[in-house]
C-alpha cells in the first residue's frame, strides 16, 4: 500500500478526522492517575468511547468497574470464521500520568494543535494509540467480513501497574476477551545508523520488577552521645555506596545484539558497546541502552530516624530493581549479596516482584507487524527490543499469549525522541504520526483478520 504520510492521506479523510477528534476528547477528559484512591476516573474516557461506538452494529460492549469510576471497556467484533483466522486484541489504556502545570508552556488538557503537533498529557502515552485503535475497530465492525475476532480493550489504571485495569481483568475476568494476540504501546520509532540506515522498533517484551527493601540495625541512644555506638545511618550509607558500585553482568541476548547492530558502528565500537563499556556511543539512547543490557538497581527511598536528638536503631533503603527476561528473583538476591559482602548485617525484604516477559519474533503477529513496517518503510530494518519500564502487554504474555508494542512514527521520530515525550512537560505528538499509526492499524487488521483480502482497508 506504500507509506502514507500526511500528503498521502487527504485532509478530508473521515477516519483521520474521527481519530483526531476522539484523541482531543480523550485528552480533555483528563483521566489523571496519581496513584491515590479515586484518581484516574477513567469512567470519563470509557463514556466517551461508549458514545463513539453507540451507533455501531455488530459489536458487543462490556464495562468493568472494580472501584467507583475506574472503568475499563471491552469492545468485541466477532469473527465470521474464527477457525480460519486468529483473534486480534488492541490493548489500550485510558489513564494518563500527572502533570506539573507550572512547567508546561501549553495547556495540558486541551488538545491544542500548533505547528503540526497536538499537545497534551497522554497524546503520546498512549491516547493517540487508543484513539486510532478505536477508529479501526469501528471500521472493522462497519465493513464486516473479518474472519478473526477483533477486541478493542481500553483499560484503566495502567499508570499504576494495572491493579484496577488489565491486571484486575486478567485475574477476575480472563475470558472477557482473547489474550492470544495483543497489540499495545508503543513501538514504531526509529534508530538511525551511522551509515544513514534506518531501523524501526517493535517492543517484544519488557523488564520485570524485583523491588527490595534492605534493613540494617544499630544502637539507639541520645544524639548528644554517639561515641562507641553502632550507627544504623553509617551502615545504610555504606550499603548505598556498595550498591552504587555494583556492576551486574551484561546480557548477550538476541534483542541486545540487534539493538546495538542497528547503530552500524565500526566493529571495535560494536564490540565495546555489546560489553556494556561504551554506552556513551549510543548518544541520546545511552540510558536506555544501559537499562536493557543488564539488571538495573536504582536506590529510590531512604529512611532512618524520627527525632533529631535520637540515634535511630533502624534504617532502610528501597530499591527499584528491573530484571531482564530469564533473570529470577533468586538471581537478584545473589547480585545484592555479592555486592554487599558479609561484614555488614542486613536483611532483604521483597516488595513487588514480577518476572520479565518477552514474546517470540517467530510468530504470525510479529511477522504481520514487520510486514507493515517494511511496506511503509521499504529500506528499514525491523528491530525487536524490550521496554525498560512496564506495560499492560505483560499480562497477555503471562496468560500464554503474545504482546507487541506497535505504532507507526515517521522516520524523523527517533526512539530517543519518543522516550523524551513520555511523562514529559509539553508532551506532544506529530499529527502525521497519528495519520501513519491509523494507516498502520488498518494495514495490520487487513493482513491479520482478512487474510484472503489484504486490500480490505486500502485508502487512496
Q: Which CATH number characterizes residue 28's domain? A: 3.40.630.10
- Distance, CA of 8 to CA of 256 (rounded, Å): 35
pLDDT of residue 458: 66
* 262 and 311 inside one domain: yes
- Distance, CA of 426 to CA of 428 (rounded, Å): 6
φ, ψ of residue 86 in degrees (nearest 5):
-70, 155
* 374 and 350 inside one domain: no
Helix H or strand E encompassing 354: strand 347-354
Final residue in a domain of this structure, among 302, 320, 354: 354
- Distance, CA of 3 to CA of 125 (rounded, Å): 23
Final residue in a domain of this structure, among 354, 385, 415: 354
* 33 and 170 inside one domain: yes
* 48 and 182 inside one domain: yes
* 350 and 367 inside one domain: no
Threshold 0.85, pTM exceeds: yes
Quick check: is 199 in a domain? no
Quick check: is 9 in a domain? no
Write the DSSP assignment of 118-137 as a string of letters. EESTTIIIIIHHHHHHHHHH
Helix (H, G, I), strand (E, B) or coil at 240: helix
* 317 and 272 inside one domain: yes
* 314 and 365 inside one domain: no
Q: Give pLDDT tens digits along the chain (460 positions).
A: 333 333 334 457 899 999 999 999 999 999 999 999 999 999 999 999 999 999 999 999 999 999 999 999 999 999 999 888 899 999 999 999 999 999 999 999 999 999 999 999 999 999 999 999 999 999 999 999 999 999 999 999 999 999 999 999 999 999 999 999 999 998 999 999 999 999 999 999 999 999 999 999 999 999 999 999 999 999 999 999 999 999 999 999 999 999 999 999 999 999 999 999 999 999 999 999 999 999 999 999 999 999 999 999 999 999 999 999 999 999 999 999 999 999 999 999 999 999 999 999 999 999 999 999 999 999 999 999 999 988 999 999 999 999 999 999 999 999 999 999 999 999 999 999 999 999 999 999 999 999 888 778 765 3
* 260 and 169 inside one domain: no
Final residue in a domain of this structure, among 322, 354, 386: 354
* 282 and 269 inside one domain: yes
* 148 and 181 inside one domain: yes
* 42 and 75 inside one domain: yes
- Distance, CA of 200 to CA of 409 (rounded, Å): 9
- Distance, CA of 346 to CA of 97 (rounded, Å): 35
Quick check: is 348 in a domain? yes
Containing structural domain, residue 401: 14-193+358-449
Q: How many domains does the chain have?
A: 2
Amino acid at each position: 500500500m506504500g507509506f502514507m504520510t500526511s500528503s498521502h492521506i487527504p485532509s478530508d479523510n473521515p477516519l483521520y478526522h474521527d481519530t483526531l477528534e476522539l484523541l482531543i476528547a480523550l485528552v480533555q477528559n483528563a483521566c489523571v492517575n496519581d496513584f491515590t484512591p479515586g484518581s484516574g476516573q477513567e469512567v470519563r474516557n470509557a463514556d466517551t468511547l461508549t458514545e463513539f461506538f453507540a451507533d455501531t452494529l455488530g459489536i458487543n460492549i462490556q464495562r468493568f468497574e472494580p472501584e467507583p469510576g475506574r472503568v475499563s471497556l471491552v469492545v468485541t467484533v466477532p469473527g465470521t470464521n474464527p477457525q480460519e483466522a486468529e483473534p486480534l486484541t488492541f490493548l489500550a489504556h485510558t489513564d494518563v500520568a500527572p502533570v506539573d502545570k507550572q512547567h508546561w508552556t501549553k495547556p495540558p488538557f486541551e488538545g491544542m494543535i500548533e505547528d503540526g503537533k497536538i499537545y497534551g498529557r497522554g497524546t503520546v502515552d498512549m491516547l493517540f494509540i487508543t484513539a486510532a485503535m478505536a477508529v479501526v475497530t469501528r471500521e472493522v465492525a462497519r465493513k464486516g467480513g473479518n474472519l478473526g475476532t477483533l477486541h478493542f480493550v481500553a483499560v484503566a489504571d495502567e499508570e499504576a501497574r494495572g491493579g484496577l485495569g488489565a491486571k484486575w481483568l486478567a485475574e477476575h475476568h480472563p475470558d472477557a476477551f482473547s489474550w492470544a494476540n495483543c497489540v499495545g504501546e508503543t513501538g514504531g520509532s526509529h534508530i538511525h545508523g551511522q551509515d544513514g540506515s534506518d531501523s524501526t522498533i517493535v517492543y517484544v517484551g519488557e523488564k520485570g520488577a524485583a523491588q527490595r527493601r534492605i534493613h540494617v540495625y544499630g544502637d539507639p541512644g541520645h544524639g548528644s552521645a554517639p561515641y562507641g555506638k553502632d550507627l544504623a545511618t553509617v551502615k545504610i550509607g555504606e550499603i548505598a555506596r556498595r550498591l552504587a558500585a555494583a556492576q551486574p553482568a551484561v546480557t548477550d541476548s538476541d534483542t541486545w545484539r540487534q539493538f546495538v547492530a542497528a547503530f552500524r558502528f565500526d566493529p571495535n565500537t560494536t564490540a565495546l558497546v555489546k560489553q556494556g563499556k561504551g554506552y556513551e556511543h549510543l548518544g541520546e539512547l545511552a540510558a536506555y541502552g544501559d537499562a536493557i543490557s543488564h539488571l538495573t538497581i536504582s536506590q529510590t527511598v531512604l529512611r532512618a530516624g524520627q527525632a533529631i536528638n535520637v540515634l535511630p536503631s533502624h534504617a532502610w533503603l528501597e530499591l527499584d530493581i528491573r530484571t531482564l527476561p530469564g533473570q529470577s528473583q533468586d538471581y537478584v538476591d545473589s547480585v545484592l549479596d555479592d555486592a554487599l559482602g558479609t561484614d555488614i548485617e542486613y536483611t532483604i525484604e521483597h516488595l513487588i516482584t514480577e518476572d520479565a516477559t518477552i514474546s517470540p519474533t517467530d510468530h504470525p503477529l510479529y511477522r504481520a507487524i514487520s510486514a507493515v513496517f517494511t511496506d511503509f518503510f521499504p529500506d528499514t530494518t525491523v528491530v525487536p527490543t524490550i521496554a525498560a519500564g512496564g506495560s499492560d502487554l505483560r499480562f497477555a504474555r503471562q496468560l500464554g499469549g503474545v504482546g507487541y508494542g506497535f505504532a507507526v512514527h515517521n522516520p524523523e521520530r527517533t526512539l530517543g525522541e519518543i522516550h523524551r515525550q513520555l511523562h514529559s512537560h509539553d508532551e506532544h505528538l506529530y499529527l502525521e504520526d497519528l495519520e501513519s499509526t491509523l494507516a498502520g492499524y488498518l494495514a495490520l487488521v487487513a493482513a491479520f483478520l482478512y487474510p484472503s483480502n489484504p486490500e480490505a482497508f486500502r485508502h487512496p
